[in-house]
A and B are shown apart, each in its own frame.
Chain A
Amino acid sequence: MKILIVDDFSTMRRIIKNLLRDLGFSNADEADDGNTALPMLKSGKYDFLVTDWNMPGMSGFDLLKAVRADDNLKTLPVLMVTAEAKRDQIVAAAQAGVNGYVVKPFTAAVLKEKIEKIFERIQ
């Protein structure tokens, strides 16, 4: 299981990486916005994408739309972990095809629950 974590803050990437490792996913790479993440996704054979929304350069929402528009990536499970809390945004993310939405600040238990739910659906 290869995971890509996209967040502009290195602290948040580190926290998510640590939590994922505790859940048994130790193969995780990092990117700091959509522009760096997209080429990695296209060439890197990732199984799961965890992304923030608000980032300089390409936002997580635009990244989600780019992933869904790409024939090779459109089935990639995407979990959004973000401070964006407007109802409209959550609806927009759902319509754009997000697989899970975790609002910051979050707990390890919530992250675990959402990730497990996503993999349950896929299998």
Chain B
Amino acid sequence: MDRMNDNEKIHRGLEPEITEKLRHQAAELSQCVEGGDYVRAMALINELGEVRDQSLYREVGRLTRTLHESIRNFQIDPRSAEQKEVLSMMTDASDRLAYVVQMTGQAANRTMDLVEESMPVANAMRDEASALRDEWQRLRRREMQPAEFRELYGRIDNFFVSLTQDADTIYSSLSEILLAQDFQDLTGQVIQRVTTLVKDVEEQMLSLVVMASHVDQLTGTVHQIDSQEVSAEQGVGPQVKAEEREDVVSGQNDVDDLLSSLGF
């Protein structure tokens, strides 16, 4: 089975007229050898070699052309000095992603600054309100001395003033937090552009690989590619499409189930 597939692949790599020529010459070679015409046989072997060389040159030529085209498509021109200075799209893509990291970081820190400013304000409001409520209950139960009542009177006045100020502070923090989310629009656009570039690069790379494989078939080159198993020990980052994968948990419930199955 594998052998048949291999043969099919080789035929696909060669052009039809070349395979036809090869078949013809091979048949003639076999006749010459059987008929004892060794001079003609040797000449045929030379011709076969030439066919192989010519196809090889043609494939290498194609590979080079595609490579050049791909480089041109990436807009990198190593020959021109000004182009070297102009950012290539790849460098641009890394800069764009760095910008995303910077923008998201800024937004997160701005949001947390505002949250950390607002939390003590909310706490103070709650504490004062509950203290006043206790005092108010004492007043209603007529447990309060006139001096204490005068103090409570002033305290309630102050509370109304600070309540207005504190509510304003919290409201303006909340609206600033809302504004800090505007990064999503900008980073979203940037990421979409980089995604498009990555897809283009992937397509170009794929066509190069296909071209190079034709050369490999003609020369009979077999690459020893060691598949490198990435160890998860150093960490692999967040999993995308976790729900489609068996070896990945899809949330805290899965983690808890797994750990309890281990006796945790």
> Is B248 located at the chain interface by the 8 A CB criterion?
yes
CB <8 Å contact, B235 and A54? yes
Q: How far is the CA of A62 from the CA of B239 in the complex (A)?
A: 21
Number of A-B contacts defined by CB within 8 Å: 76
Q: Which residue of B lies closest to A58 (CB)?
A: B234
Q: How far is the CB of B127 from chain A (nearest CB, A)?
A: 15
CB <8 Å contact, B236 and A90? no
CB <8 Å contact, B235 and A87? no
Which of A37-45, A67-75, A77-85 makes up part of the contact surface? A77-85
B residues within 8 A CB of A106? 252
Q: Which of A14, A87, A92, A110 contacts B247 (CB 8 A)?
A: A87
Q: Which of A18, A87, A89 contacts B115 (CB 8 A)?
A: A18
Task: Categorize the interface residue count of chain B.
Answer: 20 to 34
Q: How far is the CB of B196 from chain A (nearest CB, A)?
A: 26
Q: Which residue of A lies closest to B239 (CB)?
A: A85
CB <8 Å contact, A94 and B264? yes
CB <8 Å contact, B233 and A59? yes
Report the 7 A-B pairs with minimum CB-CB distance, sorted nearest first.
A54-B235, A83-B238, A11-B108, A53-B235, A85-B239, A85-B249, A85-B248
Interface of B with A (CB < 8 Å)?
105, 108-109, 112, 115-116, 232-239, 242, 247-252, 255, 258-259, 262, 264
12 A-B pairs with C-beta separation under 8 A: A61-B235, A83-B238, A83-B239, A85-B250, A86-B248, A87-B248, A88-B232, A90-B249, A90-B258, A91-B258, A101-B255, A103-B251
